[in-house]
Amino acid sequence: MYQHIRRSAYHLAEDGEPWTEDFRALAFPEHWHADLLELHNHGRDEEKRRLTLPTRRFDGVLQTLAPDVIVRPRPRIPVEPMPEHSHRIAEDFWMYVPASASDPLPDRSLSRLLDAWLRTLGPYGAGQDPGFRSALLASSADLKKNLPAWQPVTGVELLGAPVTAGGTAAPESRQFQLATDALARRILSLDPYPFEGGELRFRAVPRGPRDQGAEIMSQPLCRPVKRKEWWFSVILNISLHTAPFDRRPRLQLHWGVRRWATHPRAASKRLNLPYREATTVYLRPTIPWLPGAPATERYALARLRRDRAADAFTWSENDTAGILRGLSPAGNFPDPEQLLTEPGSWIGEGRGVRAAVVHSTRMGKHEIGTGFMPNQRAQLTEWAEQALPDMVVRVPDLRRGRGKGIGAPENRRPKPRTDEAKKTELLRETRARRANLGAQVRISGGRPHRSGPPLVEVRLLWQSPEVRKEAVAQFARALGLDGDGGASAAAVTDRDFDEARPGAPVVLEWRTEELTLRLRCLPLTDGLGDRLVPDPAVSPKGAALATAIGERRRALRSWLRADGADPDHPELALVEIAHRSTFRPSTADPKFAVRLGCADAGVLTQFVVTPSTDRQIDNADSIEHRAHSAWLDGLRQLGVRVLPQHTLGDDLPEGLQYAAVWMVKRRKDGPTRLPKHLPVAVLATPLPDAVGLAAVRGWDDAAGEWVPYPRFLLGLVKQAEIDPEACAEPDPQDGGPHSSTPRVTGKQWRANLAQQRRETAAFLQRLLHSLRGQPTVLIAHAQNSRRHWPWLQDGRIERDLIQTGHAPAGRLDDELRLVRVRGCGGREAAQWWGLAEPGKPQGQPAGFWTQTVPPQGEPSAGDRTFYSTTERPGTHAVSPALDRLATRVNAAGNLTSQAGTSAWNPTLLEIAVLGCHAGDDQGARALGNPDEAEALALAVHQLRQAPDYAAALSLPLPLHLAGQAQAYVLPMLAESDVSPGGMTAESAVEREGRSATGDDLDPDLMDAAGLTTEPERGDDDG
């Protein structure tokens, strides 16, 4: 068994020399601002006037044309006052270049670049306005007379940082770019990475001022899979992070795969690009973009958007491409139609500009697998480590912490070996599931039953006989029920199922020792499951769609009420619905309205997709698996769970309960356009008379009480109002002057966030008050919650204190403990591998991990920060030695590779015990038994191994349940899209075209430094 794991993370050596570099820097020419802002607002109405200049596209072109330039964001107004212990640098600059770079941006090149940028400042159509052209010429002349000058900046520390009052490193905001870029340059200077059959040659990728990291990417590689050629590149992301209570910031390396769209669709003869979102294209010129500019080895980024008027795709003018097109020599910029119809001819080597379109899952299947398995990841990392400066070393390896083996709970899910043992375990599992349902009825006050065991009724709302038959069979299988529910005895025919109506369904019934189960089968008729068709007489389009959603919602509520659904007695329905690919446009998907209408009638929903030959999912095994999984997921919504039992004995308080808080965020691609949020909380309390069972409740903030989980979910639907503006199709130019969607200014965004933080503080105060009197661990998720609860940021936390609002931090209540977990969002979890014996491949061990050397003396990060990894599920049995790069000749004499196999890597989940009662703490004295941070962290690790789940969870169970609740606030998300805990497998990340929320990518101190970050464009980087 692996005893240690290694991370691709690096910090300054203890008591080592600082890592410093010399730069030349350019201050932002603030004297430009007033005149250029007038140019930008030329012809705009008063209410549409902008308050700041759109420098983002200019910054992007700067980094493309001047490869040595590092562009910094201009300082922003902080959302709230800076904490007293925060640190900010006295002076920052707009641009930096290494002191060794020669003439990074000649005046002639800068002048041409400024001219191209100025042309993009005017409102839509301003280029035809003589007044704008005159103002443009005047501004250009003034700028060229006052070009800023470079000045030397020496001895800039790249990894040294002051420390907060809580003992955590607080890097300067510029270090997030300067340090990562410096390491990227050193790696680019290495010899190419060799592998069997070739070598990797890397180039830099431009990163925006707010991307806070560096990225390099290899040349495109071609691999034949299934008799077709497919292209991909290897990417390396370098980012700077802090860790709780660690006095040294760390650099982290993240390896991934970027796949290129290679084959057009057979029907349209071009790539299948999403119509509502921009698609990223990487460009590489073979000659400089601009005569006189330095030669560049960097890629350029451009975006293709749909032009609704021409019903075609074009380069986004409000992006880097809008400037590059005007600067590039004639004929060198790719024609969008040719690029989409012949993408393979633009990839790889060739004359002129080379171009590659990033693949997304919306385009269909790509035969190149994602990610790297640990052995090859370790080899790539070892090559990159050659570039580390002498004073930068790898962080210590982690060793197994407390607990036996993988740190499993007392009631871990068994792994029977023989067929007989499997049958016995299945019998025990289904019996336990029935007992849990019976307990749920007693707790939540289900429907009364005249005599005998409790009664549980569920519904099957079906559309195809094939799914109906399989759903009935899988319902019986999920609960270990014998027979067909009386269908044979009553001679129920297919016609009976077809003619069933509300109030007269086909009812199948099973009686068991634990409870009576009834399955009410109803065909989803009258178009209730069909696509939404907005009324063309209603205008605008967003209002028409909102009206259609409301009508379907009311119709479904009435339909279910006619069948006896009662909001006072929550029930479950499995709803068959067509695959979302059949609903075009995507806003016509009825799932939103179906879930809302069912919830209004007091019915929880789980969806199963109708088989589709187009998606090759119509085989019996697939239907069986999907129906079975859907029932299990649906039954879990009813609220009683098997709680993992910790193995800590008296080291944890008796009757310890677990609370979790989650921030539901309405992203800009969700049901609402303005940034809003809703804090939710879930509480899992062990049942005293049922070992291993826990009552799960949700916090009803309006009533100020904990309510059963089903009622909690249904209550959240009240928060899912429909915004007609949100339903409107966004403008191709993403908020341009002719856009139908409102533009949120920076001032509005800051005001919204400040208000949301006040609401969150009030919510937390009410929540914490409700938890008094019983030992409780409150679990929060860093990437999800720290923007709205700033205390969770690394730069704010202090040991054993808590702060919910503007009041000073105070000590924890005697019964409360605070634990924060952090996953792979924003690449904050380091990539890792298990250290194998010499000659064997590196592995992926599951377990609970702590620092290699126990801390001594003063408190350190090691005694409060721990790590959790879980076992691979059986569906991801990939060899740790998978080689994605090599091409070999097989026994038949043909080239072969493993490029088509996807990698799978469990996330290294960080568990930080921010607050507990240890040592001579007042709470510890009151309890009579001091807390041990490692014991609390191990209990949280064990919460990921819930016995009633086939595989380990990406988050502790209470936090997982809190995140799942967002499906009832954001019902436009498909079931497969809801990922509250982030991806369990990094290889599953397929994010191109979907903007991530900013807090998932911001380093902890960016808010505190008064800087905001643009959402990063996701990549297919497993």
Q: What is the pLDDT of residues 47-82, one digit of tens each?
A: 778 877 777 778 877 877 777 788 888 665 555 555
The answer, yes or no, to whether residue 35 has pLDDT greater than 90, is no
CA atoms within 13 Å, Cβ hemisphere of 893: 0
Residues with Cβ within 8 Å of 530's Cβ and at least 6 positions away in sequence, in order, are: 590
Is residue 1020 within 8 A of residue 359, CB to CB? The reply is yes
- Helix (H) / strand (E) element for 957: namely helix 957-964
Pairing of strands 9-12, 392-394: antiparallel
Q: Residue for token digits 């009633």?
A: 948
Q: CA-to-CA distance for 486 and 479, rounded, in angstroms?
A: 16
Collapsing DSSP to helix, strand or coil, 34 comes out as helix
Give the span between the Cα atoms of 265 and 262, in whole angstroms: 10
Q: Which residue has the tokens 């890597």?
A: 905
Q: What is the pLDDT of residue 873?
A: 81
Distances (CA, A) of 524 to 48, 456, 460, 468, 543: 47, 21, 9, 11, 26
Contact by Cβ (8 Å): 477, 469? no
3-state secondary structure of 897: coil
Contacts of 721 (CB under 8 A, 6+ apart): none
Q: Is the pLDDT of residue 558 over 70?
A: yes
Q: Give yes or no for a contact between 812 and 800, defined as CB atoms under 8 angstroms apart.
A: yes
pLDDT band at 121 (very low <50, low <70, confident <90, very high): confident
Is residue 255 within 8 A of residue 341, CB to CB? The reply is: no
Ramachandran class of 262: left when φ > 0, alpha when ψ lies in -120 to 50, beta otherwise: alpha
CB-CB contact of 998 with 1020 (8 Å): no
Instruction: Return mean pLDDT, the chain.
Output: 82
What would the DSSP string read from start to end of 384-441?
HGGGS-TTEEEPPPEEE-SSSTTT--TTPPP---SHHHHHHHHHHHHHHHHHHHHHHH
Candidate from 36-40, 670-674, 906-910 with smallest mean pLDDT: 670-674
DSSP letter at 12 equals: E
pLDDT at position 127 over 50: yes
Q: Which of 249-258, 329-338, 502-511, 626-635 has the lowest mean pLDDT?
A: 329-338
**Phi, psi angles (nearest 5°) of residue 345:** -75, -15
Residue 1012 has pLDDT above 50, yes or no: no
Strands (E), 764-823: 776-781, 801-802, 810-811, 816-822
Lowest-confidence pick of 180-189, 268-277, 861-870:
268-277
3-state secondary structure of 759: helix
Cβ–Cβ under 8 Å, residues 210 and 996: no
Report d(CA 783, CA 979) in Å as an integer. Answer: 13
> Residue 1014 — very low, low, confident or very high, per pLDDT cuts 50/70/90?
very low
Cβ contacts of 643 within 8 Å, gap of 6 or more: 658, 684, 686, 692, 693, 694, 943, 946, 957
Mean pLDDT value of segment 890-907: 84
Report the pLDDT averaged over residues 902-915.
Answer: 94
Q: How many CA atoms lie within 13 A of 200 on its CB side?
A: 23
Q: pLDDT band for position 126 (50/70/90)?
A: low
Q: How far apart are CA 321 and CA 336, in angstroms?
A: 12
Q: Give me the pLDDT at residue 266, please.
A: 86
The more confidently predicted of residues 982 and 584 is 584
Please tell me what DSSP assigns to residue 906: B
Average pLDDT over residues 494-522: 95
Q: Which pLDDT band holds residue 316 (cuts at 50, 70, 90)?
A: confident
Indicate the SS3 state at residue 77. Answer: coil
Determine phi and psi for 518, rounding to 5 degrees: -125, 130
pLDDT greater than 50 at residue 1016: no
The percentage of the chain sitting over the pLDDT mark of 90, rounded to a whole number, equals 48
Residues 6+ apart with CB under 8 A from 229: 222, 223, 262, 344
User: What's the rounded Cα separation, in Å, for the pair 1002 and 171?
Assistant: 13
Report d(CA 94, CA 31) in Å as an integer: 14
Q: Tell me whether residue 724 is exposed, middle or buried, using C-beta atoms within 10 angstroms of its C-beta: 0 to 12, 13 to 18, 19 or more.
A: middle
Lowest mean pLDDT among 151-165, 701-715, 740-754, 810-824: 740-754
CB crowding 217-253: b at 16 or more within 10 Å, else e: bbbbbbbbeeeeebbbbbbbbbbbbbbbbbbbbbbbb
Q: In 782-878, which ranges are E strands?
A: 801-802, 810-811, 816-822, 832-834, 847-851, 865-869
The pLDDT of residue 683 is above 90: yes
Quick one: CA dihedral 207, 212, 218, 224, positive or negative? Answer: negative
In this prediction the pTM is 0.89
Q: 97 pLDDT exceeds 60?
A: yes
Q: Which two tokens stand for residue 753?
A: 């966030």
Q: How many CB atoms lie within 10 A of CB 435?
A: 17
CA dist 310 and 709 (Å) reads 50
Q: What pLDDT score was predicted for residue 971?
A: 55
Q: What is the pLDDT of residue 978?
A: 32
Q: Which residues contact 963 (CB under 8 A, 6 or more apart)?
A: 662, 781, 784, 955, 978, 980, 981
Local structure of residue 837 (DSSP, 8 states): P
The label of the residue with tokens 């000058």 reads 149
Tokens of 846: 């599951």
Please state, in angstroms and as integers, the Cα–Cα distance from residue 593 to each residue in 448, 546, 548, 579, following that order.
30, 10, 9, 15
What pLDDT is stored for residue 743 in this prediction?
55
DSSP 179: H
Name the residue among 476, 480, 474 with its Cα closest to residue 621. Answer: 474
Q: What pLDDT score was predicted for residue 394?
A: 97
8 A C-beta contact, residue 105 and residue 296: no
- Helix, strand, or coil (residue 355): strand
Rg (C-alpha) for the chain, rounded Å, is 29
Would you tell me how many other CB atoms lie within 10 Å of the CB of residue 54?
14
Helices (H) and strands (E) in the chain, counts: 21, 39
Q: Is the Cβ–Cβ distance between 831 and 377 less than 8 Å?
A: yes
Which of 879, 877, 899, 878 has the alpha carbon at shortest distance from 888? Answer: 899
Nearest residue to 542 via CA among 812, 809, 726, 301: 726
Over 592-620, what HEC string results? Answer: HHHHHHHHHCCEEEEEEECCCHHHCCCCH
Query: pLDDT, tens digit, for every residue of 932-987?
Result: 999 999 999 999 999 988 889 999 999 999 999 988 887 543 333 333 333 332 22
According to DSSP, the residues that pair with 394 across neighbouring strands are 10
